[in-house]
Structure 1
């Protein structure tokens, strides 16, 4: 892996400074690699290459079919390195290897194909009859140079949701991975280099928040696509607004699982465990508020406790591990602080807690934790914890459950569980979120748009809408003949 260089404009280049990013294993707490850190001069070089490639290069001017073929070639290269990519992600962020292979790498591989399929039927050029007899030609054209900024928790998945549709649309991209997880992005850069995209089309610049801010504010960037915290998202939105720059934001969540009285406790517990704890709870659309009918709260709480207590916590490189460490000591301390806060606020600790898991001596681990008898006003019910902590909140009837679910600063995802799917659809229509599931945790379907409302951001990724976000719509009226 090319760790001493930066991938600028499709070529490996010496960085402008000697600064390095140290990547530390969340499991051993020991360094696993050092990589070159980008500085403002490197951002300038990458944006200049992207600007030239967009303004005068071939990529935006290729037929869509040619760009699709190029991305399919990249997908074939990606398939050949999936095992290596999963191992890299496990080493740098501590994701269990089974989850890394299935979701961290499997989903991006699937999306490469899915986006290409969508692009083949996408209406790049459409002709409509105008009101006055003229034909109206609708062209969907690339928005320009894209700054794609991704966090550490699902790095390849989040890169794919931005990079692939942007490239298919004809944009050029400067990608900034998080400093906690640069290795997988550099491995992807190697594959991009092998795929022979035109010069300037893609750059990969590992860097800290200051580098991200410089990239966002760069006058050569036409659109910013950002995934991260709501606090950081507000700053990105403000910076883009100053220059009237296009921006899409996929931010935090505090999603609710509404459990109706006719749902099966074991099925609910299994679905919630899968949807909320697969990445040690470090998932923006995790179901962390579990709303249960007050008169049947005990069987649902007990079933959840059994699921959480049975999870295997430990070495993420072990195929049997279900819950690995959190990404950093800071995150571990933050999540433990929320557990202490939950107890202090009066929620009942059912299982887990702020101590290390049994049999684990090192690493940034937190025990899978379940609170019950909570209220929606508690901090553990209102704030995004981003760890393996679930909170059970009782409700009296369906209307109150809907009110509790909507009483949140966030609006990313959610679910309803019921024996009657048509009732679930009626409940889903009442919840103010961008995405929702009936009898499942929200599934990241590459054909379904994903995104939030309120403090969870705006814009959509995945589906046809994922390509829409990287296009401008131009209408051309052609006068009628004769």
Structure 2
């Protein structure tokens, strides 16, 4: 696969890059190892100062890097700016809180004595160079939510970014360099997927994190498992969005539109399957379909655009196949379902789409729709809603709309997902753990859970 910026709004190739040679990869791995040997001994104060500086630079750069992201993968430019500022917030959060999150932990005095120790504590120490294999859909955010905690913990990062966002990938390396990080603390590796195995098997690379497709996750996990190296995986989702009779249906329908088409529908945590109680189904359907129809599809650099193009021609073709299969099997298209006529000769656009009468035999019922396509289900009660919500191989997040505390408790207990969001759409925040269950992966990012994923949790026992 070429390493190039191809504008998905018009198919124009803007920049191309040569992949790193084996010799350059070796040089960078050696550099990462040397950088870790010294960086691991820095103080939290020093690390925080560097990360705060990186945050300041990114905040100033936000308008420019937003346009780069938009031209590389097609997200509306306003959303791209918001992504950059979310990264700034997360950097500052970890700079402020990392020392507390990784402070030594002291067991109860009675337990220390029972162990035969005079003193004992738990210390969090960095692991070393960590390989991050990242996707194109949130080209800044996916990287920063790994890099900020990893760097604050004292690790160093090696980024293998998606091949269609090379400019963003190189920007990230330059950002940390300009912030004053020692050489080698964060490096971008412009490489194809075929080079990942050799890097992951290198003894200097101690762990890996991947956000991406299930096949990519399986590959990285199997290699890392063979090498007995730690991994964290986030592999996508097909998140349910359940609406029950006691909900504010108008608000639920309005939020549903945003929840489905955020990032042009190309978000792992976007709501994709809308499961609605029969008593409010028609009210929700009418409002939801109307909201999807009103969205403006067009040039992602236009501030008024709601939905830009899919990131690639293949991505649009994959989405079309799912929709076509559903229609051929008896599903009903309530809106959309095709390429916008006024943009037919430009880029990789697809209309915001709602599909009803979906059955378990259809591919769209089980496969992730990575684009602005929603499936709509009618259910009789909470039991059926939970059954449909869990009828997926994925388990990243879930949404519930209700005014009933009992229903909230029941859904939180029985939802097979890493997150349960009630009366609001799924979102990530640095203070809250993020990750999934089932084939959505394992491990957690963000919060104290995320920063500890790539730490050596060390018991220090001192005898009398």
Tell me whether 1:67 sits opposite 2:51 in the alignment. Answer: no
- Within 1, Cα distance between the matches of 2:337 and 2:71? 26
Superposed CA RMSD: 1.6
Question: Which residue of structure 2 aligns with residue 96 of structure 1?
Answer: 76
Q: 1:356 to 1:40 in 2, by over 3 A?
A: farther
- Within 1, Cα distance between the matches of 2:302 and 2:344? 14
Tell me whether 1:86 sits opposite 2:70 in the alignment. Answer: no
1:179 to 144, 163, 167: 163
Tell me whether 1:30 sits opposite 2:12 in the alignment. Answer: yes
1:372-383 correspondence runs (5 A):
372-383=356-367
1:123 to 73, 97, 102: 102
1:142 Cα offset (Å) = 0.3
> Does the residue aligned with 1:62 lie in a helix, a strand or coil?
coil
1:286-297 correspondence runs (5 A):
286-297=270-281
Query: Do 1:174 and 1:205's aligned partners in 2 also have CA atoms closer than 8 Å?
Result: yes
> Does the residue aligned with 1:307 lie in a helix, a strand or coil?
helix
2:88 to 109, 121, 128: 109
Tell me whether 1:393 sits opposite 2:373 in the alignment. Answer: no
1:240 Cα offset (Å) = 0.5
Q: Deviations over 1:302-337 (max 9, x none)?
A: 111011000000000000001000011111111111
Query: Do 2:293 and 2:335's aligned partners in 1 also have CA atoms closer than 8 Å?
Result: yes
Q: Deviations over 1:136-188 (max 9, x none)?
A: 12110001110011010001000001111111000111111111111112122
Deviates more, 1:452-461 or 1:27-36: 27-36
Tell me whether 1:142 sits opposite 2:126 in the alignment. Answer: yes
- Within 2, Cα distance between the matches of 1:206 and 1:354? 35
Q: Which runs of 5+ in 2 are unaligned?
A: none
1:214 to 198, 201, 224: 198
- Within 2, Cα distance between the matches of 1:438 and 1:352? 28
- Within 2, Cα distance between the matches of 1:331 and 1:66? 43
> Does the residue aligned with 2:49 lie in a helix, a strand or coil?
helix
1:30-429 correspondence runs (5 A):
30-55=12-37, 57=38, 59-102=39-82, 104-128=83-107, 129=109, 130=112, 131=114, 132-358=116-342, 361-420=345-404, 423-429=407-413
1:274 Cα offset (Å) = 1.3
Question: Which residue of structure 2 aligns with residue 15 of structure 1?
Answer: none
- Within 2, Cα distance between the matches of 1:245 and 1:357? 50
> Does the residue aligned with 1:278 lie in a helix, a strand or coil?
helix
Question: Which residue of structure 1 aligns with residue 462 of structure 2?
Answer: 478
Query: Do 2:4 and 2:165's aligned partners in 1 also have CA atoms closer than 8 Å?
Result: no
1:462 to 443, 446, 457: 446
- Within 1, Cα distance between the matches of 2:151 and 2:233? 19
Query: Do 2:35 and 2:184's aligned partners in 1 also have CA atoms closer than 8 Å?
Result: yes
> Does the residue aligned with 1:361 lie in a helix, a strand or coil?
coil
1:113 Cα offset (Å) = 0.9
Give the number of aligned pairs.
Answer: 459
Q: 1:346 to 1:40 in 2, by over 3 A?
A: farther
Query: Do 1:447 and 1:464's aligned partners in 2 also have CA atoms closer than 8 Å?
Result: yes
Deviates more, 1:317-326 or 1:376-385: 376-385
Normalising by structure 2, we get a TM-score of: 0.95
> Does the residue aligned with 2:259 lie in a helix, a strand or coil?
helix
Q: Deviations over 1:40-70 (max 9, x none)?
A: 3333222211112223x2x100112211111
Q: 1:396 to 1:189 in 2, by over 3 A?
A: same
Q: Which runs of 5+ in 1 are unaligned?
A: 1-18
Query: Do 2:132 and 2:158's aligned partners in 1 also have CA atoms closer than 8 Å?
Result: yes
Query: Do 1:118 and 1:464's aligned partners in 2 also have CA atoms closer than 8 Å?
Result: no
Q: 1:395 to 1:221 in 2, by over 3 A?
A: same
Question: Which residue of structure 2 aligns with residue 446 of structure 1?
Answer: 430
> Does the residue aligned with 1:478 lie in a helix, a strand or coil?
strand
> Does the residue aligned with 2:40 lie in a helix, a strand or coil?
helix
- Within 2, Cα distance between the matches of 1:234 and 1:442? 25
Q: 1:294 to 1:120 in 2, by over 3 A?
A: same
1:263 Cα offset (Å) = 1.8
Query: Do 1:376 and 1:393's aligned partners in 2 also have CA atoms closer than 8 Å?
Result: no
Deviates more, 1:39-48 or 1:155-164: 39-48
Query: Do 1:357 and 1:366's aligned partners in 2 also have CA atoms closer than 8 Å?
Result: no
- Within 1, Cα distance between the matches of 2:22 and 2:97? 36
- Within 2, Cα distance between the matches of 1:422 and 1:274? 27
Q: Deviations over 1:261-297 (max 9, x none)?
A: 2223321122111122021110011110111113432
Query: Do 2:75 and 2:300's aligned partners in 1 also have CA atoms closer than 8 Å?
Result: yes
1:133 Cα offset (Å) = 4.8
